[in-house]
Structure 1
Amino acid sequence: MHSRRDFLKFVGLAVSGLCFKSSLASDVKNVNNNQLNILLITADDMAYDTPGCFGGNIPNVTPNLDRLAGQGMIFKKAHVNVAVCTPSRSVIQTGRYQHNNGVMEFQLIDNKVPTLTECLHDDGYLNGIIGKATIGGHGPNFENFGDTYKGHWDYLIAGDIDNNFGRNPQLFYEQSNGFFKKANSLGKPFFLMANSHDPHRPFFGSEKEKKNWWIAKSNPAPSKIFTEEEIKVPPFLPDLPEIKKELAQYYSSSRRCDDSIGQVLKSLDDNGLTENTLVMFLSDNGMAFPFAKTNCYLFSTRTPWIIRLPGKIEPGSINESDFISTVDYMPTVLDAVGVKKPEGMDGRSFLPLLKGKPQFDRDAVFTQYNAGSGYVNYNGHGPYRFFTMRCIQTERFGYIFNPWAVTDRHFHTDTHHGLTFSAMKKAAEKDPQLKARISMLMQRTLEEFYDFKNDPAARRNLINDSVYFEKINELRNRLKNWMIETNDPALKAFEQRADVNELEKFMSKQESSSNEYWKGRIAEYKNTIINWENKSSTGIFNIKFKKKADLRVVVRSWGGKTVFDSRTLKEDRLVVDISNYPKGEYIMVLWINEKNLVKKISYQ
C-alpha cells in the first residue's frame, strides 16, 4: 500500500484523460492552445542507480537529474521492457512489446502499427526528435526525411553528424531551442524526444573513443571527470583495477549526459514553456557492462524514471510500490493529453497513479530480449545473434526463460568489447568462482530464478532449490499467461521447454527469419552505390548509384560547422560542393534510404 505522501497530488483533476486535459488547459494560458506539451528525455545505457536521486553511491554525477527529481516524482520500480537501444525505444513509440511492433532486433516498426507521433500529429502536435533517432521508425525515410515519412517527425536532428553524435550539451540547447521557438511560432503543442548518446560506449576518455575520430574531435569534455579512486564497483561486477578504470569513464560520460539534460531543461525554461510541459526522463536500458545491458536481470531493465509537471506533481514525490514500464509510456501520454488511444497496445496508462489513485496489477513487470547488434554488420553475419529470453520480475523474485541456453550458442553482445570483460576473463584464469560466473554468463541454463531482494546482482540461481518450487511455478504460470495474452512466438518453446529439439527448432527459426531480413537489406545497399569519392583537389565530390534512392549527404568541419547538407528523393547521383570552404579534412555522412555511412573526406 502507498502512503498518501508518496503519491503525486493533482489538484482539481477529473478521472478521465479528457477531463485531465481540459482541467489543465484552464490553468495555463499560452500560445499553444492551452494543450499540454510533452518532453521526453532519454539517456543511452545509464544504470538505474547512477543518478544520486535513485541512490547512486558516487556523488555529484547527475546534479541536473537530481534537481529534476526534486521538482517532481520518481518511480522506484520502473523498467524498460527490453534492455537494448532500438528495440527498447520502439516499445516507447508504440506501446507494444517487441513481438507485436515488428522490432525483434533492429528492424523498422511494422507499418500497420500506430505510433505515438502519428497519434499526436493527428491531434495537432508538432513532433521533434534530437539526438539518437534509431527507435525503429516507420518506413524507408525515418532517419533522413523526418517530415515526409509516416511517423510524422516534423523536426528531426539525428544524433550523428547533425548533433555531434548526441554528446554535445551546447548543441542540445541550440537545437531544442530551435524546436521550442518553432512550436511557439506555429502556436502548436509539442512532443519533443531529446536523446543523449551518453553514456553509451565509447566512453569519454577511452581508447575506443580516441580511435573514433568523429566523436573524440567533435565533443567537449564533461563538466566533471571522474577518477578510479572515486569509483565503487556495482555488485554484479568484480572489483578489478581495469574495471574501475572503465567505470570512471562511464561515470564521466554519465556526467556529460547530465550536462546535456541540463541544457534541454534550460532551453525549455528560457522559452517560457516549463509550466505547461510534462517532462519525463528515463534510460533505455542498464549500463553497457556484463550482466546488465542486453539481459533480463534487475540491473538490465530497471530504469531511473522521473516525471515533472509544475503545479500538478508534488515536488519530491516517490512511488515505491508500483511497477511501470516503457510499454505504458504511450498510453499514459495519450491519456494525459486526451488523445484517443489506438487499439492493440499492450501497455496501459498509469495516469491514475499520477492522480494519487491505486491501480491493480502493478506488482510485476514482463521483460524480454531477442538479439543485439553484436553480430549484425553490412558485409555479412557472424555465427549466432539471437539469444531469446523472457522474464517476469516481482518485488522480490525474478524468473527467466532462456530457450537458447540448451543449444550450442555462446552469449555475445557489445557489452563484451570493453576493458571490463577482458579483465574478468584474465582474472578468471586464477579465480575459479569468477570463471564459473563467466561460464554462467556465456552459456546460462534453461531457467533462472533469483531472490532479487537478497541477491540483486543475480549471483545465485535458485531454480533447483526445493524451498522455492511453489514460487517458481507461480511465476512460470504468470509468464505463460502473459505470453498467451500478447501472442508471443516463444510460447510453444516455453510450453515444450523439456524438449531440446523443439527449443533448437524455435531458435533456428528466429535466426533464419532474421538472416533473410538482413540479407535483403544488405543486398539493397550493395546494389545501390557505385562510387563514393573521398579525395578531391577542387572541393567537388561525386557520388553515383546503380538505381534511384532517397539520399542525403551532410558535410561538417572538425569544429562541427555544417558546410553542406542536401536531401534528394529518388535520385541516382549527388554532387557535393565544398569548394567555398578552406581546404582540409571534413566529415561526410551519406544516407541511402534509412541507413547511413560515415567517411572522412579530404579536400586538398
Structure 2
Amino acid sequence: MNLPTRLILAGWFLLPLASTEAAEPAPTKPNVVIMIADDVSWNDFGCYGNPAARTPNIDELASQGMRFTKAFLTASSCSPSRASIITGRYPHNLGRAAELHEPIAANLAWFPAVLRQAGYYTALVGKNHMAAEPPAAGQSPPAKPWDLVDPGVTPDNHGAEARWTSTLKNRPKDKPFFCWFASLDAHRNWDADKEWVAEKYGPKHQPEDVIVPPFLADEPATRQDSASYYNEVTRFDYFVGEVTRTLAAEGELDNTLILVLADNGRPFPRAKTRLHDSGMKTALVAHWPEGIAGKGVTTSSLVSVIDIAPTVIEVAGAEVPETVQGVSMTPIFQDADATIRRFAFSEHNWHDYEAHGRSVRDGEFLYIRNSRPTMAWQGPADSVRSPSHQRLRRLRDDEKLSEAQADVFLAPRPVEELYKTEDDPNQLHNLAFDPEYKQVKSRLSKVLDQWTQETGDAVPEHLTADQFDRETGESLKPGKGSKHPRGTPPGGPNDAIHIHQAGPR
C-alpha cells in the first residue's frame, strides 16, 4: 500500500516538520456511493459473463476498477439483506429484522450514522426497507443515520433512480458524502416496460435473446418474463452511468469509492430466497481510482456483504463499532490476492413462508443445512405468482419437469446439501452423501456448528408460519380483525442482538 493511500484510509494527515514550513492541507476524506439493485442475480450483468445482459455502465466501472467473483450475501431476502449490510451483522444477530419487513434492534449501530458523526453528509434515495425498533424505556435512541431520505420515485420512473444525480448536485459542498442509492429495479411487478425511454436505455430486450437457466421452462411466457426483468436491469445500469458521469463532472470521481451490488437473487424460481448461488451470490463491482491498485482487476478473494460496513467506516477514518461482525475489504483493494476471510455464511429465514436454512462457503464448496426439510423452497410469493413459476407448476402436473426444474417443488428436501461450486455452478448435483466428499462435509458442518454457537443462532420451536399459499402465491387471510402472528426470530432464544462475536472467519 503506498503512503498516500494509507493516509487516506486512516483519515490522518502529515504535520509540518518545522514551524517555518507551510502546513500541508489534510487530504480530503473519500466519498462513498453505494448503488444497490433490487432482486438481481450475480450473473445478470454483462461483466459477469451474461452475453444477453446490457449493462455497459457497470461493465465500464468494472473495467476501470475491481470485480469480485466470490462475494456473498447473508440473506437472499430484501430487508434482512439490506439490514445486514447497513449494520455489518448476520441476520439472526439483528433481532426481528432477520425476517422480512421487520425492524432492526435498537441497540445496533448503522454505518451511515457512524459516517454522519464523522462529518459526512448522508443520503438515502430510493428503496429504504430498513427501520429501527424504538428504544426500550431508559435506552438512548440510536444515532440518526441520514441527513436526507427520499423515496426517489417519480411519475415517469418507478425504479426510484430519477433523483440520484440531483442529490449529488445539491449536496452540501463543504462535507464528504455518503449516498445509498437503492433502485426498485428489478423487483416485480415490472414497470420499466411501460416507462421505457429508448433514447436513454436503447432497444428493449427481446424474449428470444435472454438466457434461460436450466431450472426454468424455456418457453415463450418465461422468455417474455425474463426479457422484462432484463429491461429493469438495463434501466438500473443507465442510472449507474448517470451517477458516475455526475461524479466526474463534479470533480469527485477519483476520490469516491463506488460499490455496485444487489440485495438478493432474481425474483424467479430457485433464485430469490435460495441459499444456492442463484440467490445468495452477488455481483460486486468496486471503483475508486485513488484507493484501488490497478484497473480492470478481478479478485476471487472471498467476501461477505457484512464486510462492506467496516470497509466504508475504515475508508472514512472512523472507528468501527464493536457491534460490527464483518472485516474490512481494504487489503483486497491493494492486493487482489489478499485473504480477509476463509468462510462466508448465509441464512434463509421467513420470507412469506416458514423457513430456516443455513449455509457456509469456503470459496470452493457450498454446504447447506435445512431445519425445515419437509417444506419446499419454492421461492417468495411474488415469484410463485409469476408466469415463470406457474408454467413450471403446469409442467409438474403433467409430469414433464426436468430434474433441475423439479427441485423448485422438492419436498421433503435433503437436510444437508454439498456442492463443488466451480464444477457445478447451478448446484444441481448434491455431494452430501458421496463418500468421496465425506471429510469435506464433516469439516464444513463443524465450521457451521461453531458459527452457530459463537454467534448465538438458534432454531426456535415456533418460527413464523406461512402467510401465502405455496401453490398460487396468494395471501392467506388471517381471521377478521386479526393479524398473522409472528414467531420467535432465530436469534431470539440466545439474545443474539447482544452477541458481537463473528464466529469463524
TM category (shorter chain) comes to 0.7 to 0.9
Identify if the C-alpha distance between structure 1 residues 417 and 16 changes in structure 2 by more than 3 Å, giving closer, same or farther: farther
Give the CA deviation at 1:334: 0.7
* One-letter amino acid of the structure 1 residue matched with residue 205 of structure 2: F
Tell me the equivalent position of 2:55.
62
Give the C-alpha shift of residue 333 in structure 1. 0.7
SS at match of 1:274: coil
Please state if 1:325 is matched with 2:304.
Answer: yes
Measure the CA separation in 2 of the matches of 1:464 and 1:178: 53
Farther-moved stretch of structure 1 (124-133 vs 465-474): 465-474
Cα distance change on mapping 1:136 and 1:56 into 2, 3 Å: farther
Matched, 1:400 2:368: yes
Q: Does 1:309 align with 2:285?
A: no
Q: Does residue 355 of the first structure (1) align with residue 309 of the second (2)?
A: no
Name the amino acid aligned to 1:472. Answer: K
Rounded Cα–Cα distance in structure 2 between residues aligned with 1:435 and 1:39: 38
Cα offset for 1:421? Answer: 0.6
Question: Are 1:99 and 2:95 matched, yes or no?
Answer: no
Deviations along 1:360-418, whole A, 9 cap, x unmatched?
4633311111021x3xxxxxxxxxx3211100123332111111114699865432121
Q: Measure, in 1, the Cα distance between the counterparts of 2:89 and 2:463.
A: 22
1:175-209: CA deviations, max 9, x gaps? 4323443221xx11111011111111112477xxx
Amino acid at match of 1:451: K
Alignment of 1:115 with 2:110, yes or no, is yes
Tell me, in whole angstroms, the C-alpha distance in 1 between the residues paired with 2:356 and 2:349: 4
Whether 2:365 is the aligned partner of 1:388: answer: no
**Correspondent of 1:295 among 267, 274, 293:** 274
Q: Where in structure 2 are the equivalents of 1:241-320 lying within 5 Å?
A: 241-320=220-299
The one-letter amino acid of 1:296's match is L
Corresponding letter in the other structure for 2:443: E
Q: Gaps (5+ residues) in structure 2? A: 15-24, 136-140, 467-477, 484-505
Residues in 1 aligned to 2:256 and 2:378: alpha-carbon distance in whole angstroms: 46
Relative to 1, partners in 2 of residues 1:446 and 1:333: Cα closer, same or farther, differing over 3 Å? same
The range that moved more, 408-417 or 131-140, is 408-417
Deviation at 1:434, TM superposition (A): 4.8
**Given residue 286 of structure 2, which amino acid in structure 1 is its aligned partner?**
I
Higher fraction of strand: 1
Equivalent in the alignment of 2:324: 345
Whichever residue aligns with residue 414 of structure 1, its letter is D
Distance change (3 Å), C-alpha of 1:410 and 1:240? closer
Q: CA deviation at 1:267?
A: 2.3
For the residue of structure 1 that corresponds to 2:172, the secondary structure is helix
How many residues end up aligned between the 2 structures? 450
How many Å apart are 1:13 and its aligned residue?
4.4
Structure 2 match to 1:50: 44
Residue 580 of structure 1 corresponds to which residue in structure 2?
A: none
What residue number does 1:479 align with?
A: 448
1:258 Cα deviation (Å)?
A: 0.8
Tell me how far 1:288 sits from its aligned partner: 1.0
Residues 230-270 of structure 1: CA deviation (Å, up to 9, x unaligned): 12212443422221121111111111111121222222223
CA deviation map 1:519-559 (0-9, x unaligned): 9xx989xxxxxxxxxxxxxxxxxxxxxxxxxxxxxxxxxxx
Judging changes above 3 Å, is the alpha-carbon distance between structure 1 residues 409 and 415 closer, same or farther for their aligned structure 2 residues? closer
AA in 1 matched with 2:420: D
CA distance in 2 between counterparts of 1:409 and 1:456 reads 18
SS in 1 for 2:170: helix
Would the aligned equivalents of 2:86 and 2:111 in 1 still touch at CA under 8 Å? yes
- 1:132-177 per-residue CA deviation (whole Å, 9 max, x = no partner) reads 111334549xxxxxxx984331111114469943345xx23xx432
1:445 Cα offset (Å)? 2.2
Change beyond 3 A, Cα 1:14–1:484? farther
Asked whether the 8 Å contact 1:75–1:304 carries over to 2, the reply is yes
**Alpha-carbon deviation of 1:316?**
3.3
Percent identity of equivalent pairs: 28
Query: What CA deviation, in whole Å up to 9, does each residue of 1:547-596 have, x standing for no partner?
Result: xxxxxxxxxxxxxxxxxxxxxxxxxxxxxxxxxxxxxxxxxxxxxxxxxx
CA contact (8 A) 2:269 2:379 kept: no
Q: Distance in 1 between matches of 2:45 and 2:377?
A: 35
C-alpha distance in structure 2 between counterparts of 1:85 and 1:22, whole Å: 39
Q: Which residue is equivalent to 1:597?
A: none
* Alignment-derived partner of residue 188 in structure 1: 175
Seen in structure 2, the aligned counterparts of structure 1 residues 348 and 305 have a Cα distance that, compared at 3 Å, is same
Equivalent residue of 1:261, what SS?
Answer: helix
Alpha carbons 2:377, 2:408 under 8 Å: kept: no
Instruction: Check if 1:228 corresponds to 2:207.
Output: yes
- Is 1:88 the counterpart of 2:81 in the alignment? yes
Task: Return the alpha-carbon distance in structure 1 between the equivalents of residues 452 and 191 of structure 2.
Answer: 40
Cα distance between partner residues in 1 of 2:109 and 2:189: 34
Q: CA separation of 1:150/1:224 partners in 2, compared to 1, >3 Å: closer, same or farther?
A: farther
Distance 1:319 1:507 in 2: 44
Q: Is the 8 A contact 1:196 1:260 kept in 2?
A: no
| Gap change, CA 1:433 and 1:400, over 3 Å in 2 | same
The SS at the match of 2:264 is coil
* Structure 2 counterpart of 1:335, from 314, 318, 321: 314
Is the counterpart of residue 73 in structure 1 residue 66 in structure 2? yes
> Following the alignment from structure 2 to structure 1, what is the Cα–Cα distance between the partners of residues 303 and 403?
34
Q: Is the 8 A contact 1:386 1:507 kept in 2?
A: no
Q: Which is greater in Rg?
A: 1
Paired with 1:439 and 1:117, the residues of 2 have a C-alpha distance of 38
Q: CA contact under 8 A between 2:12 and 2:317: conserved in structure 1?
A: yes
Question: In the alignment, which residue of structure 2 is the partner of 1:457?
Answer: 426
- What is the SS of the residue equivalent to 2:28? coil
Distance 1:453 1:18, change over 3 A: closer
Letter in 2 for 1:485: E
Q: 1:219 to 1:523 in 2, by over 3 A?
A: farther
Of 164, 187, 190, the match for 1:203: 190
Q: Secondary structure at the match of 1:280?
A: strand
Is this contact kept in 1: 2:159–2:192, CA < 8 A?
no
Report SS of the residue matched to 1:56. coil
RMSD, aligned α-carbons? 3.0
Deviation, structure 1 residue 291? 1.1
Distance in 1 of aligned mates of 2:85 and 2:300: 22
Shift of 1:326: 0.8
Partner of 2:33: 39
Which residue of 2 is the match for residue 422 of structure 1?
390
- The runs of at least 4 aligned residues of structure 1 exceeding 6 Å deviation read 407-411
What TM-score, normalized to structure 2? 0.81
Q: 1:488 aligns with which of 435, 457, 463?
A: 457
* Partner Cα separation in structure 2 for residue 435 and residue 91 of structure 1: 30
SS in 2 for 1:183: coil
SS across alignment from 2:67: strand
**Structure 2 residue 411 is the aligned partner of structure 1 residue 446:** no
